[in-house]
Structure formats: structure tokens, C-alpha cells
A and B are shown apart, each in its own frame.
Chain A
């Protein structure tokens, strides 16, 4: 029992430190990836073929190469371009760029699933592109895109663990550190796993709420 208390005393502060960083990165990456993903989606829907092509290439690059390779490339590549950025922000940037590709596809398929008559009825009263997007199309996609978006957000949180390879002091990194001191891998990993689980359950609860609120409105 005393031994257990000693392990917990060392482990818990370390993991809490990591937990905070993991949450910070996750939240920032989710926000940025929604913004960038939405812009990429708009580019995919553009009538301008060049604009669309740029977006398609972006999606191809980020979806078809391993996340870990992207992380290493940014970690070693950005400094060689003369950019001095901390590992934390490199992590946020790569996570955002990577997830944006997936989120763009989710947004796009959601918008394309709305019958054409919906935007035509908006056009017929003289509504412009952005109003049609934000007032007519997007509200109707919420029911369709929330489940896949939720999945993507859960994946984002789990993928933050990969950032330990570039020295970001997130939860997995701190877990390894705690094991190095306590030599109790089973207990420490269990605790780390539980913490990831709690974050993701939290995300699921939030998105469920948004979905429910919208179900009353959309078909």
C-alpha cells in the first residue's frame, strides 16, 4: 500500500502536467482544423477549377501520407527554413493541417448531400453565396456531419500522443517519464488510458448536445 501511494504521488502530478498539454493541443488543433477544413471545403466547391485543384492536392497530400512522417518533416523541415517554432506549436500546426484535410471532406460531402433545390430556392430570392452557405446549407448538414466530425475529433485527441516523438510534453510523453521513475508501467499506462478516455467522453457529450439541439430543426 505504501508502495502504491509512492507511485501515485510521483505519477499523478506528471500525468496532470501532460494532460493539460494534451488538452491544449487538442482544443487548438480542433479549432484550427475546423477553420482550415472549412476553407478547403469552400475551395473544393468553387467553380474555379484551379482553386478546386489546389484544395484537392492539399487533401491528397495530408490524407495519403503518415501523420508521423508529417510530424517529423515539420520538426526537422521548419527550422531548416529558418523558422524558429517550439515543438508545441509545430505539433499544433501539423495536427491542424492533417485533420483539416479530413474535415474538409466531411464538410464537402455534407454540403453535397443537400438537394440542389435548396440553394436554387435561395438563389431565386437573390441570396448570395455566403448567406446561402451559412443560412441554408450548413444548418441542414449538421445532422449528417456531426457523427463523422466527432470521430475525427476523438482521433485528433488520440493522435496527440504521437507528438511525444518531437519532445512535446503531452500525456504520453509524461507517461513514459513517470514509468522511468516508478517502474510501474501497468499502473501508469492504465491511468494514462483512463485520462484519454475521459477527454474523449467529454467531447462525445458536447457533440451529442449540439446534435440533439439541431435534430429538432433539421429533417
Chain B
């Protein structure tokens, strides 16, 4: 079943077309990666899908709800972990989670249950009373994703979840993300090729706001005639220039 259906999604800023006529269908429970170099239009796509930016033209349907006409309904289905770390710095880890539960109007019981669950899932137990602003980058990212999951979203957007993290922390975060697979639909953006290959069910490669290929890592490698995903990606992106 298609959870997300994107058709002709376009965003123009003054002189740049950040996203150019995107067409895409994403299935329920899929972990879908948007892969592309900096400036490819990934964040803009996520912003439109999460109703933060209005499309210039086109539309997308999340669980059948239009991001243009039914943004209220869409917001209750989704959660976002933005590219820049989005935590309240002077609140503790626990208070950050409480804040998210609160803005979704959860009762006390449900709040407690969700916080316990996510604290366990992301290994936040030891740092619950630490201020979020004092955490390392990796822990802030983990908290950021946990905050997104509080509302039990049907669809989760992760914008560059491991940007700027070292390899060990990144691989730990990958484990956290893998553990979510199948439970909810996830769209993850990244410019790390190995991240897209190792985590996702399917990958869409973006360049200059356009989608140039969609498929599994295997399919993309086969299409490019390359052994390694990295080589396939580079080849496809280079050829798309012509």
C-alpha cells in the first residue's frame, strides 16, 4: 500500500528551482532514502512534505491527505527530525520528551509510557536529567529522533540524521534507525552513500531538484553497471549532467 504519493512536487525560490517536478510513491513501512549532494533539494522536499514550506506547484498525499489542502491532518500523521539539531537546550532530556508529549496533548499516563519506552529504545536512561544543550552531537541527534517518535507518527522524516557525526556514533545511530524499520514509514535524507545503501529499502537519487533514479541499491548498481554502490552513484550523478 502506498503511504506517500508525490506528484509533480515543485518548489521555486527567486532564482533557483530547489525541487523540480518530483514524482514518487513510497510504500507503508518502507525506509526510503533521498540521496543527493548538498543543494540537491532534499531538505526542501522534506519541508514541503512536512507542511513547513508550501509547494510552488504539485502536491503530495500522505495516507491520502493532501499536504496543500489538508495540512492539519497531515501534521497529526507525521513527525520530523530536522537537519539541524532541534532540541530545547535549557531543558533536560526528559523535559524535552515531555514537551513533545505535551504539545501533542497526551495525558500523563501516556506521556510516562512513551517516555519510558523511548528512553529504553534510545538508551537515554543515564542522561535523562542532563540539559539537552550539554549533550554531545550524537546524543542530541538520538534525543532529536526520540522526540520525533513521541507522537507515534505514521510517517517519520529524518533529515540528514547522522550529519557531522563520527563513524562509531553514526553506526550506533544506524542501529537505532534499523530498529524502527517496518514499524513506520521512514524517509531519510543523506549525502552519505553508505548510509543510504546500508539502511534503506529503496533509494531515490536527487540532483539539482530532480529525481534521476529510484530503486534498491542492487538495482541502482545494476543500472550503472558498477560493483560498488559508491561508484554507481558517482557515475549516475555525473552522467545526469549531460
| A and B are interacting partners | no
